[in-house]
Structure 1
């Protein structure tokens, strides 16, 4: 492909929040290796780029450029992450255009295509102005894509029903509850924010993309959902989610060597991601359940949260429990000793759990996590939503016993292993994603 890609210059715009950047960067790495003579400009905030670059496995034809995060100088940031998101999105077209100027000035080559996280919708307007293809990347849980084409129906249902009311009009998805919906999608009137307006616009923005690239396996998605989305988009490609090479990960926390001492499928791995911290009441309930269960566990928990745990809990459980501030999650989930994942249902966590055949106990907090939890329980049947959707001592104990101990949980355990096999098959050169990636490359690089 060298002759056809030498003058190609792809600008990539990240959504620099949560875990959105990593899967987009993984996609760009795959593209950069497929087209080594093409230039890729990865454009994000200074903080985000500093966190993800440089790394030795990133191809030399990927260069970074920094744009504004939109936060006013000296502004006292609130703890809520949505405020940072709103500041960034408010920078709009001008900020995106500045990124293009920086990229073109360094490469001396005009941008020929824009790939952007779907949440950075301003990049579509810039692509139109430059008259180049716009390709949207969808890192959230794949099935959540459906929500943005049925916003009016969801909002109407929300206005007329309580949080436990069910919705059966999303093609291919299991029976959803109002409470499963992203909160920002339900904001109307004065409650609307820049971010919520961005989300609501996706149903009209995404059909304008030359393609929408989904960070998941088509083989795992409900066929009716896939059919419905393909009918609404110009093209939809699935790209196999990949992780950075395991050789670059060090086991500084000692989790893997600790797991080596435990029996097969016996350990509960607990992590609610990097953004959310459960309430003090939920943290206490989680600790009490883990202690009473008698099960070995690894708990990924920031050090500043440890004082919120019950007095003496760490000491009393030290013989069978390991609490660390950082975990090599992909490797931990892939370890034979891990039998269940207590998770917030972030998209990366869900994919890694499915890929490793580990059942899940779901406690969704925000965004697409409620949809993910419902699909885990209702479509794949590889886990359960915790009783009441909040951590209680009795609820967590009940779920742990079901999946790790009781015969009743055998179906869930077996289904998780079946999902692992499906993922392994889907990731082969014969899988649908391999074909989709070839078509994506053609779309980007063919004149």
Structure 2
């Protein structure tokens, strides 16, 4: 691999990715931008073999002609040879991986330094990796963690002790904690109240050490929530909103299932788009509720269905090709930006919330885990650009009522207007003189300076 001749400045940035869900892809998108902005700096991207195979096309370990200064390295995922997940515990692979850190990263980092002929000069990590603080301190280099979820959840993890104290006194609201006044105890990720298992322990440690970071980077944009943003600026040495990541640059259109031509034939703001990301599948009875609610609403729908649609959805539902379209994958950002989409039924993952804002589309939220409940609460009560499904789960009546609120009448119109205002904020942030662009330039200086 490359040696010091590839980095005449002697700069070498190590990147530690969290190889689950969409974390690694989001971090890689940011790293590619930094690598393109600083071609004389070497970047070593450390993640699991499975994650790297998914992130780097064709199984390459370098980024080809796009970023020749970026090279991927595989770290051990902690699993013994021949390991097969039991399926009983969805976080089991994560817990196995966490038992291997930080040793698996430390050994591969030393190998990358030897191979590339240059010790690291900066450590850029997923924010989950609390051990980045110690590793950077030992090497006397900056530590820059990247937070890819919503800003309210970041405050919650930094205020875990306070939240646990409120919970212990039967408190229901978090208004005593600056930045979390809109949140209820039921919105808080359950991991915050769990002090024993590996994943919550990791999040707790993260919240304790983030104030030590040289800078904390966020996949968000300034003014999205001034109160929350103000608290993060006060709690951290330096807080940099450089998002939405997906707009820098926006992804090219890939539409193998013909979603956009189908949307072109629909009326403005009439289509219900349904998607729960790459990790989540509602239970069968909730899928049935969605089907029945879509029938009741009689609106055209586009459903990005993760699973076997032929086996899991009613045949007559799938045959309604004039009113609906079910696909295994959709170009979500482009779909949400289409004039025909009037509502987005979502799990309220942060990427999906941002993409809905960028499209100016109101949401019907059904959170499942993690910070999704906090995002859904903000969608409904802070930004007022959507509603959460009543009762916290899809039923035919609750889903149909939520769709009617979003699609019809003055309430839905006002949601679309507010979503449109947030869309303009997001687009302005990534303009050449926008706040996210300025913050990105500051980030490049910190990482490669």
TM, length-normalised to structure 2 = 0.93
User: Equivalent residues in 2 for 1:32-111 (5 A)?
Assistant: 32-54=35-57, 58-79=66-87, 80-111=89-120
**What secondary structure sits across from 2:257 in the alignment?**
coil
Look up the match of 2:134: 125
Equivalent position to 1:196, from 195, 200, 204: 200
CA displacement 1:158-202 (0-9 Å, x = unmatched): 34438xx332123234421222111111113xxx21111111112
Q: Confirm or deny: 8 A CA contact 1:293 1:397 kept in the other structure.
A: yes
The answer to whether the 8 Å contact 1:213/1:236 transfers is yes
- In structure 2, the residue matched to 1:26 is 29
Q: Deviations over 1:114-138 (max 9, x none)?
A: 1000112223322222221111000
User: Matched residues in 2 for 1:247 and 1:236: separation?
Assistant: 26
Using the TM superposition, give the Cα deviation of residue 245 of structure 1 relative to its aligned residue in structure 2, in angstroms. 5.8
**Map of 1:176 onto structure 2:** 183
What is the Cα deviation at residue 249 of structure 1? 3.9
Contact 1:93 1:126 in 2 (8 A): no
Match of 2:300 among 279, 286, 296: 296
Structure 2 match to 1:433: 436
Is the Cα contact below 8 Å between 1:286 and 1:391 reproduced in 2? yes
What is the Cα deviation at residue 78 of structure 1? 2.8
**Candidates 125, 138, 156, aligned match of 2:147:** 138
Question: SS of the residue aligned with 2:123?
Answer: strand
Alpha-carbon distance change, 63 to 334 in structure 1, aligned in 2, over 3 angstroms = same
> Which string of whole-angstrom CA distances, capped at 9 and with x for unpartnered residues, describes residues 215-272 of structure 1?
1101212x22222222221111111223376674421111111111111111110011
CA-CA distance at 1:431 after TM superposition: 1.8
Provide the secondary structure at the position in 2 that maps to 1:98. helix
TM-aligned CA distance change 1:236 to 1:382, over 3 Å: same
**1:321 partnered with 2:324:** yes
Q: How far does residue 76 in structure 1 lie from its aligned partner after superposition? A: 3.2
- CA displacement 1:305-333 (0-9 Å, x = unmatched): 55333453222x33211111111111111
Superposition map of 1:202-351 within 5 A: 202-221=206-225, 223-243=226-246, 248-304=252-308, 306-310=310-314, 312-315=316-319, 317-351=320-354
- Identify if the C-alpha distance between structure 1 residues 326 and 73 changes in structure 2 by more than 3 Å, giving closer, same or farther: same
User: Is 1:358 the counterpart of 2:361 in the alignment?
Assistant: yes
User: Tell me, what secondary structure is at the counterpart of 2:273?
Assistant: strand
Cα RMSD over matched residues?
2.1
Whole-Å separation in 2 of the counterparts to 1:5 and 1:139 = 31
Structure 2 CA distance for aligned equivalents of residues 93 and 107 of structure 1: 21
CA distance in 2, matches of 1:226, 1:5: 38
In structure 1, the partner of 2:416 is 413
**Shift in Å, 1:74:** 2.6
Q: Tell me how far apart the structure 2 counterparts of residues 91 and 3 of structure 1 sit (CA, whole Å).
A: 31
List gaps (5 residues or longer) in structure 2. Answer: 58-62
CA contact (8 A) 1:268 1:295 kept: yes
TM-score, normalization: structure 1?
0.93
* Number of aligned residue pairs: 438
Q: 2:124 aligns with which of 115, 119, 127?
A: 115
Q: How far off its partner does 1:4 sit?
A: 9.6
* 5+ residue gaps, structure 1: none
1:78-114 Cα deviation digits (max 9, x unpaired): 3233111111111122111122123213211111111
How far 1:358 sits from its partner (Å)? 0.8
Aligned residue number for residue 8 of structure 1: 11
Q: Structure 1's 346 and 56: CA in aligned 2 closer, same or farther, altered over 3 A?
A: farther
Is residue 161 of structure 2 the alignment partner of residue 157 of structure 1? Answer: no
Name the CA shift for 1:170/1:253 in 2 (closer, same or farther; >3 Å). farther
